Amino acid sequence: MRNQKKQCIVIGLNNFWESICNELARQGHGVVAVDIDEKQIDHFKDAPFTVICLDPTDSHVLQKLDVNQFDFGVVAMGSDIEASILTAINLKDLGVPKLWAKASTPQHRQLLEKLGVDHVVQPETNMGVRIAQNMLSESFVDFISLSNKYSIVEFIATEQLTNKTIEMLSLKKRYHLNLVAVQSADSINFTPMPTDTINSGDLLIIIGLDKDIQRFSEAEL
């Protein structure tokens, strides 16, 4: 099933997160970007998404944006650890259902994870588009980047996949993907057979080209 249009709020503007905002907007999703620096705001005035100047560490100011109405939020000011932590706390307290954040150090990452941030990243600039696409996938669980083109990805079995055999999925033929394993609640199958059936909640561990992985994640299976 294709992704429904979603709403995202991004706190902190820089070149990396601009690529994510642009990718989300390109796919028709709603994006609101927030930064405290007016000069940064001016730089993004012609961007294809809404840009607002305010202090995200002030929960009373942030509350006026009705941030609980967004599907997910992004805390992008990785270099300012104090502001990052305060903003993450505010977004969680104000009810943002799913939160992503950038960490500048392993210690910063640990703090964000302890606060309950759903996904913490320490990204390189050229990963922006890939992360934006993964944020929009309902079935996406995790990925390990093997190179600039290949990844190992975990997908949770959606309703469209449940009760289908592996042969019916035609991963190799239709998407040029290799199924490495299938993990259920109590076991993991490293030698899945064509006649094996996918059950609700199973994790499919797949390896292949990023473009083919994305094509599979968007397919109406």
Q: Which segments within the chain are labelled E, that is strand?
A: 7-11, 30-35, 50-53, 72-75, 99-102, 119-121, 140-145, 150-156, 178-183, 188-189, 203-209
Instruction: With respect to residue 122, please indicate whether it lies within any of the assigned structural domains.
Output: yes
Give the type of residue at 73: G
Is the domain of 11 the same as that of 116? yes
The answer to whether position 174 is within a domain reads: yes
What would the pLDDT profile of 129-165 be if each residue is shown by its tens digit? 556 656 655 555 555 666 657 778 888 888 888 899 9
Look at 21 and 127; give whichever has higher pLDDT. Answer: 21
- The arithmetic mean of pLDDT across residues 101-113, rounded, is 88
d(C-alpha 105, C-alpha 68), whole Å = 28
- Judge whether 2 lies within some domain: no
pTM value is 0.59
Residue 125 lies in a domain: yes
User: Are residue 37 and residue 131 in the same domain, yes or no?
Assistant: yes
Kindly report, residue by residue over 37-75, the tens digit of the pLDDT.
888 888 887 888 999 999 999 999 999 999 999 999 999
